[in-house]
Amino acid sequence: MRIGMGYDVHKLSKDRDLIIGGVKIPYDKGLLGHSDADVLTHAIMDAILGAAALGDIGKQFPDSDNRYKDISSIELLKEVAHKIKDKEYKVINIDSTIIAQEPKMLHYINDMITNIAKALEIDETDINIKATTEEGLGFTGKKEGIASQAICLIQKM
């Protein structure tokens, strides 16, 4: 068994869709990035890649490559699933946290779990997603950005 952790952060910006866990969330700002800037999915990908000793999403999907411009992070997560399968690993479970002052995430978490489980071809019960605020502190508390953390356990098949 191997464990990996991931962290991602993106700045909030006007004229962008807010996509988290593959879910489009109604909000007046979205996350700025080369892809869809899905912080949750990025943190999960980094956790999985780290556990499998495959580097990180910057190494696997560099922002200098236009193939990844505005791409769905769920599509990239599917590629990560294939990469670890090629190394004969499978995801055992994922625990993650979204850190955002706004918007509230509660109503979207089940759809996020469904999207991530489908992309990884694992059971929804093997994924946990939590959301928290930082009580107005820091860049997330000041509504300047959103962050996410994830930890993942994998094992050889």
pLDDT digits (tens, 9 = 90+) for 89-105: 999 999 999 999 999 99
Is 101 a known ligand-binding residue?
yes
Asked if 108 and 26 count as a contact pair (C-beta separation under 8 A), the reply is no
45 pLDDT tier (thresholds 50, 70, 90): very high
Q: According to the model, what pLDDT value does residue 50 have?
A: 98
pLDDT tens digits, 47-63 = 999 999 999 999 999 99
pLDDT tens digits, 106-154 = 999 999 999 999 999 999 999 999 999 999 999 999 999 999 999 999 9
Is 10 a known ligand-binding residue?
yes
β-strands 89-99, 23-25 pairing: unpaired
Q: According to the model, what pLDDT value does residue 46 have?
A: 98
Q: Number of structural domains, the chain?
A: 1
Is 41 a known ligand-binding residue?
no
Q: What are the structure tokens assigned to 63, written together?
A: 């922002």
Please list, residue by residue across 66-103, b when 16 or more beta carbons sit within 10 angstroms of its beta carbon and e when fewer do. eebeebbbbebbeebbebbeeeebebeebbbbbbbbeb
Is residue 48 packed enough to be buried (19+ CB in 10 Å), middle (13-18) or exposed (0-12)?
A: buried
Global pTM value: 0.97
Q: According to the model, what pLDDT value does residue 126 have?
A: 98
81 pLDDT tier (thresholds 50, 70, 90): very high
Domain that includes residue 13, residue range = 2-156
Is 135 a known ligand-binding residue?
yes
Is 106 a known ligand-binding residue?
yes
Provide the residue count of the chain: 157
CA 124 to chain centre: 15
Is 111 a known ligand-binding residue?
no
Is 63 a known ligand-binding residue?
yes
CATH number at residue 144: 3.30.1330.50
Is 132 a known ligand-binding residue?
yes
